[in-house]
Amino acid sequence: MNEGLLVAGFALVGAPLLGGLITGADRIITARLQARIGPPLIQPFYDVAKLLGKEQIAVNVWQVFGACAYLMASAIAVVLLALRTDLLVILFTQAVGSVFLVVGALASASPYSQVGAHRELLQVLCYEPLLILVAVGVYLHVGSFKVSDILAWQTPLLSKLPFLFLALGCVLTIKLRKSPFDLSTSHHGHQEIVKGLLTDYSGPILAFAEIGHWLETVLLLGLCALFWTTHWLGMILLAGATFALQILIDNVSSRMNWRWMLGYVWAVGLSLSVVNLVWVQAR
């Protein structure tokens, strides 16, 4: 029990720090790929600190609720992962956060915010089945949904679940708001839907949404790391390599529309998952 509390506390403090640093690294690497120098590594923390210090303005108080609930649900999901509980419950909790972020965006009548929110729902529609099928594949291989049992597994999951890992990579691109799936927030600023989902989030609640996003990044990279649990170095390398690949994809591809995303992710992602599930089951 006490150990559990300690782990939870550690995750609550460590995950946002780690998430911020990862985002900082992302910005530096992206800048270098674009022949810029880029901001310092801890720039994301400066940004968030500045946002937190700003005056709270809102379109609607339910926006505040949505942002807080998103932050909370993401934090709970990370803690559940750190406590090595049931994989499906972790994914459900993470989905709660996404829904609240959308609810907060829908609370504003701004068309940009509304369109962004609906695009975000389409993104959820794309990645949620894949995430659950990844958990199912892990269960079929390991025989348990519990992260504790997965960590105790003696061979790297990647050797038996390579296609599911690719599907998880696809999820990661959507979740990290990277091109070509950066539909709901148009991260590269000032495009047709302004900032989409985040248009009317501002000041402290934008900071909440940002920290929530860091936590989700850590959660998903944690899921990636589960595919090489036999050695800690393997976990770090696998997560790091996946993340580096995400940045590369982001910089070499352009944003596509939702029809393409739905068709592509459901066709390719689902095929990859199903092929791998059949393979695991056939053994």
Partner 1 sequence: MELSASDPILMPALLFTLILFPFLAAFGAYLAVSDRLLKVIIVVTGVALVTASLVLSAQVPFSFALSPDGPIAFRAVIEVADFALLSLIFYFGWKHRHPTIMALAALQGVLLLYVQFLLSEGQAHWPVFYGDNLALIMIFIISVVGSIICFQALDYMKAHEQHQGLDRSRRSRFFSIMVLFLGAMNGLVLANDMAFFYFFFEVTTLCSFLLIAHDRTPVAVSNALRALWMNCLGGAAFTVAMTGVALHVNSLDLSRLTSAGPADGVLLPALAFLGLAAFTKAAQFPFQSWLLGAMVAPTPVSALLHSSTMVKVGVYLVFRMAPAIRGTFLSHCLAVFGGFGFLAAAALAVGQSNGKKVLAYSTISNLGLMIACAGLNTSAALTAGVLLILFHAVNKALLFLCVGTIEQRIASRDIEDMRGLYTIMPVTALMTVFGVIMMIMPPFGLMLGKWMAMEAAATNLFVIVMVTLGSALTVMYWARWAGILMSDPFAGRFTPERQPWPTWTALGCLCLGGGILSVAAPWLYSLWFTRALSPGYEPPYGVHGGILENAVGAFAVWPLAGVAAVGFVLAVVAVYRAGGARIVKPYVSGLQTDTPGVFTGPLNQPVQARASNYYLSSLFGESRLTVWFNLAAVALLGLILGGAL
Residues at the site binding partner 1, with contacts judged by CB under 8 A: 55-62, 64-65, 68-69, 72-73, 76, 85-89, 92-93, 95-96, 99, 102-103, 105-115, 117-118, 121-122, 124-125, 128-129, 132-133, 136, 139-140, 143-146, 194, 199-200, 262, 270, 273-274, 277-278, 281
Partners of 191 in beta bridges: 194
Task: Tell me how far, at minimum, the Cβ of 210 lies from partner 1, in Å.
Answer: 16
Task: Tell me how far, at minimum, the Cβ of 166 lies from partner 1, in Å.
Answer: 17
Quickly count: other Cβ atoms within 10 Å of residue 119's Cβ: 24
Task: Tell me how far, at minimum, the Cβ of 98 lies from partner 1, in Å.
Answer: 8
Between 28 and 174, CB nearer to partner 1: 174
Between 33 and 103, CB nearer to partner 1: 103
Task: Tell me how far, at minimum, the Cβ of 23 lies from partner 1, in Å.
Answer: 23
Task: Tell me how far, at minimum, the Cβ of 12 lies from partner 1, in Å.
Answer: 11
Between 121 and 249, CB nearer to partner 1: 121
- Asked if 211 and 101 touch (Cβ cutoff 8 Å), the reply is no
Between 37 and 283, CB nearer to partner 1: 283
Between 76 and 235, CB nearer to partner 1: 76
Task: Tell me how far, at minimum, the Cβ of 186 lies from partner 1, in Å.
Answer: 13
Sign of CA dihedral 130, 12, 15, 160: negative
Between 146 and 234, CB nearer to partner 1: 146
Listed residue (46, 58, 3) closest to 21, CA to CA: 46
- Asked if 200 and 59 touch (Cβ cutoff 8 Å), the reply is yes
- Asked if 51 and 211 touch (Cβ cutoff 8 Å), the reply is no
